Structure 1
Amino acid sequence: MASTPDAADVSRAGRKAGRGARDAAHSMPVRVAARVGIAANGLLHLLIGWLAIQVALGSGGRADQNGALGAIAAEPLGRMVLWVLVVGFAAVVLWRAVSSVWGYGYLGSRTEQLARRAVSAGLAVVYAVLAVLAATTALRGRASSGGGGQATADLLGLPGGQVLTALVGIGVLVGGGVMVWNGWQKRFLQDQDLSGARIRIRRLNARTGQIGFIAKGIAIGILGVLLCVAALTVDPQRANGLDSALKALREQPYGVFLLIAVGIGFACHGVFCFLDARYHRVT
């Protein structure tokens, strides 16, 4: 009769599995693919920036991830490019997930390490969503026509949905504010190794990162406000994702100019991602 594994055996098996996951995430193929994923995110931000400027000038297109992925799908060899993005995004998910448990040992403060690990866990979720969106677009040959309105409607339909939606909106608003602050303080430099970069590259990296984080934080903050408005009015279409946030910005006084500025900011974030793909500490 086989013996039942004791707690020590289970613990050893758990540690072995953990080491296996960590080794896989730190392997050269995954590290290279993760850099491809970071660069792919840069391509998406460049496209979102371009689409935002088009919206500012009166276009009726979608200025969000769906719109960007749809623009890729419409090009020759677009589906092949999308599958490359899927692989890169999936690698980033693995790397970020492992980093959320063991990463950021180069930071001296334990509190800072825990904060960065929490952010890394959130980014793993973000890239997982991007991977699913890219795969779905590649399979269909076009982007999904749905937006964040359905997700907001589902949340509002839950017991206490208005309160939950308002809390999510406040969380998104705070997250946007943190992104603006991190961009202003250039905290993203802590996760990069620029020791071999030229002075001009360092300056370009710092400026595009600073502008990009601030612009993206503003857009996310507006989305948070729209979620709070949706909670108060019980109207999910008030918060239809990033696209609705950017279009809401256009409706403000001098909104065309503000949206063009935010679009340029998203494009700057795209350039920063290309640099980050080269200099991020993927360890």
Structure 2
Amino acid sequence: MTWFQDFPQMDDDTLRSLKQFIDEGFRGFTRSYGETIEGFFNPLQKFLLLSEKFMTQTPWPVIVLIVLAIAWGASRSVKITIGALVALMAIGYFGMWDDSMRTISMIFVCTVLSIVIGLPIGIMMARSERVQRVINPILDVMQTMPSFVYLIPVVMLLGIGRVPGLIAVVIYAIPPMIRMTNLGIRLVDKDVLEAADAFGSSSWQKLKSVQLPLALPTIMAGINQTIMMALAMVVIASMIGVQGLGQPVLKAIANQYFTLGIFNGLAIVGIAIIFDRVSQAYGQRLQKHLEVVHG
């Protein structure tokens, strides 16, 4: 195996100098522009705090009714609605309500942010092969990079707190939203687009009235995956100050509290199942509706 040991490598001093140069450059960037970047994210922090305040200070019966109304409106399924009720009751009964509401508020903000950023990028990718060639490798890196790595530059730029955690979660969770938007628009039947052209529709009218409505079930699948990935990041994001169910799980790992970790882990699973079933059911209803309309 000596041939492998002789593999050509960069000189240790050169490698050390390169790493030091990159680290010092990034530190210098954070010192110069850190405050400006923090100011840029102030509206996001206010939105997150407002969402968290609503979820934690609103009486629990009101929150339960809102969630059940959303579940029923999206799914029209008694089974899914009752399942959501049972999950919420169990979360409250075992004393995890406040942490669960903080987690739900963060997932809500992450999802809104992912839609606001991801939808336009996905549309641009669908309309331009050049943009798709540029964006696809970036999405590949975002999806394969270990999630802990996202925390390093975010913490160096913004420190510890809710907003850095939120940004790390969005970076981790947004690729499915972008990919599925791109895919959904590209899968729209060309005959439908030709018919829209025949009626003299502009590019914007085709996008607004034809492509986006027909791509909506696929986009909903992207939103579903974004929510699932955001929930998967909750525990890791708790390492940099994100409040919610992730912090008790982190505490359980550090102190070997088995039941604390299991209970809060199951609460995350319960929230994930509610989001997953409701969004999937809504996507299926959209699909059936479109099949009826265009069938």
Structures share fold, TM-score greater than 0.5: no
Higher Rg = 2
TM-score, structure 1 as length reference? 0.31
Structure number with greater CO (CA < 8 Å, separation at least 6) is 1
Higher normalized helix content (fraction of residues): 2
TM-score, structure 2 as length reference: 0.30
